[in-house]
Amino acid sequence: MADQLTKRDEDYAQWYNDLVLKADLAEHSDVRGCMVIKPHGYAIWEKMQRALDDMFKATGHVNAYFPLFIPKSYLAKEANHVEGFAKECAVVTHYRLKSDPEHGVVVDPEARLEEELIVRPTSETIIWNSYRGWIKSYRDLPLLINQWANVVRWEMRTRLFLRTAEFLWQEGHTAHATKGEAVEEDESMLEVYASFAEEWLAIPVIKGIKTASERFAGAEETYCIEALMQDGKALQAGTSHFLGQNFAKAFDVLFTTKENKQEHVWATSWGVSTRLMGALIMTHSDDNGLVLPPKLAPIQVAVVPIAKNAEQLDAIRAYVSPMLQTLRAKGISVKFDEDDTKKPGWKFAEYEFKGCPVRIAIGPRDMENGTVELARRDTLEKQVMQMTDLAEKIEHLLQAIQDNLLQKALAMREAGTRAVDTYEEFKVEIEKGGFLLAHWDGTAETEARVKEETKATIRCIPLQEDAVPGNCMVTGNPSARRVIFARAY
RNA sequence: CGGGGUGUAGCGCAGCCCGGUUAGCGCGCGUCGUUCGGGACGACGAGGCCGGAGGUUCGAAUCCUCUCACCCCGACCA
């Protein structure tokens, strides 16, 4: 892995950006830090949304929608929360424009809002303000709500999908009668994210908890899934926060227990964003462009006819149409690309850029032989195949590609994960990228020092039950278990 | 907010130092023809207030002043 990575490392950002553009997923907007998600990119996101939404529904959650604007006073109610987000909030101060002879259209100074509105960077505050009115009794609990929305965080520097000023996400906000139930919800949603990442995105992830310094602003515990990208950097792919009673207290959300006592409810919030698109792109792509797991590919099979004229095209269409019908009947999305303004070679390259898992080419030669030429995107292998039972073979092939991508990504992560025991060794190894498993004394001081000196952060304290005690690589003090260090996006 | 850089056709750039024909090139775009099993080729064509304002000069993309915008490196971050 190391070789493969260092090749790309220096201009990985450029490589990534070019790839997003070539694959026609998204582009930078003229609006500062914002992104235009193009149809191909959005189609992938929609597939993710649908899959996740089904998983949320299956675990008892329902969708709702809350306002984009948050009164400043709401945001301020939870001290840690506002402190964490204050530096990156877009603020609405006026509600009207007026025309001005000299400057065209200007903000009407008369129309200043009495209380500024914050464009939501996340929705805990506005949601908990509503929950106060919804939760009165233990009979109202648990409250399990998800929202699909956009949020705005005024980031200094942005990168397509990975960090944009506005991004799309889902945020779940739940309320529970007991701490145990809330923690259980956090863990179960983390599990949903982890299995979604592996089964759909074909990205293996490590489940863990964040250290205090990496924790969500306002949370008592932050659970996360962490993935390793091809350039050796880590990416936080999803989070699930145990909010304790912090928001219930800040917003006076009390319920009556069976014993007729008043208690604050326990809260969780959890989310994944369009950043998953970035994870998807960085995990599987190669130098020929995007590589999509079949389950998320808007077009799973592209069929390219090779015809010199309209008659040949008609013949090819007749030749393949039974197979196309069989594929479609199996729920496989197929595109028969008869655009005659593009040449076959152009289309081959284009479908590769866009990550289409399976491509089929059919020309006169195939019609004579009863064959097609089939190319798979993950391995770039091409083979001539008989038409017999082709639809079944393709169905299995799509599954095989899905599995292969996960295995490849897993192998990459395993190759990039190693244990280090001394800080000297750590400093050398961190330059090569990857996940470094090392002992840590549990203090914020040590964590900050490592970050300062090596740019590596503790990605998470893994949840796996394989804790072996040792001594901190920096201070030599006792450590309960190895944690995962990496440089991160 | 610090430190660097760039603004010339839809995109990517050259020209600027050393002022002087009608401002170029590649990609893309349009028409026609030949092509079509891995991003075809030829011919013709369309497209520019050279980021903006002021100045110097007979003459400014080019020199000077101011201004605006964007990009990169830091601080911040899902």
Average pLDDT for runs of 10 along chain A of length 489: 39 81 86 86 97 98 97 93 89 84 75 92 97 98 97 86 91 98 98 98 97 94 96 94 97 97 98 95 93 98 95 95 97 96 95 97 96 97 96 98 98 96 94 94 93 92 92 96 94
What would the two tokens of residue A6 be?
């260092």
A376's tokens:
């798979």
Please report the pLDDT score of residue A252 as a whole number.
Answer: 97
Tell me what pLDDT residue A11 has: 67
Which chain A residues 442-461 have CB under 7 A to strand B?
Answer: none
The two structure tokens encoding residue A249? 């207290």
Q: Which nucleotide is nearest to A375 (CA to C1')?
A: B38
Positions 10-49 in A, CB within 7 angstroms of strand B: 13, 22, 28, 32
Q: Which of residues 334-353 of A touch strand B (CB under 7 A)?
A: 340, 343-346, 348-350, 352-353
Burial class (CB in 10 A: 0-12, 13-18, 19+), A110: exposed
**Is nucleic acid strand B under 7 Å from A363's C-beta?**
yes
- Give the residue among A88, A163, A71 at the shortest CA–CA distance from A123: A71
A167 touches strand B (CB under 7 A): yes
The answer to whether A118 and A70 are in contact (CB under 8 A) is yes
Give the C-alpha separation, A203 to A261, whole Å. 46
Task: Check if the beta carbon of residue A152 is closer than 8 Å to that of residue A119.
Answer: yes
In this complex, which residue's CA is closest to the C1' atom of nucleotide B76? A156
Which nucleotides in chain B lie closer than 7 A to a protein CB? 1, 35-40, 70-78
ipTM of the complex: 0.84
> pLDDT at position A4, please?
37
Determine the pLDDT at residue A29.
80
Tell me the pTM.
0.94
Q: Which amino acid is at A44?
A: I
For residue A438, what are the CA distances in angstroms to A12, A275, A468, A470? 27, 27, 11, 9
Contact call for residues A399 and A294 (beta carbons, < 8 A): yes
Closest nt to residue A275, judged CA to C1': B78
| Strand B proximal to A478 Cβ, under 7 A | no
Per DSSP, the three-state class of A458 is: strand
**What is the pLDDT, as a whole number, of residue A1?**
31
C1' (B26) to CA (A18) span, angstroms: 18
Instruction: Please give residues of chain A from 70 to 89 whose alpha-adjacent beta carbon (CB) lies under 7 Å from any atom of strand B.
Output: 84, 87-88
Secondary structure class of A13 (helix, strand, coil): helix
Nearest alpha carbon to residue A16 among A235, A324, A241, A330: A235
Range 224-283, chain A: CB under 7 Å to any strand B atom: 236, 239, 273-275
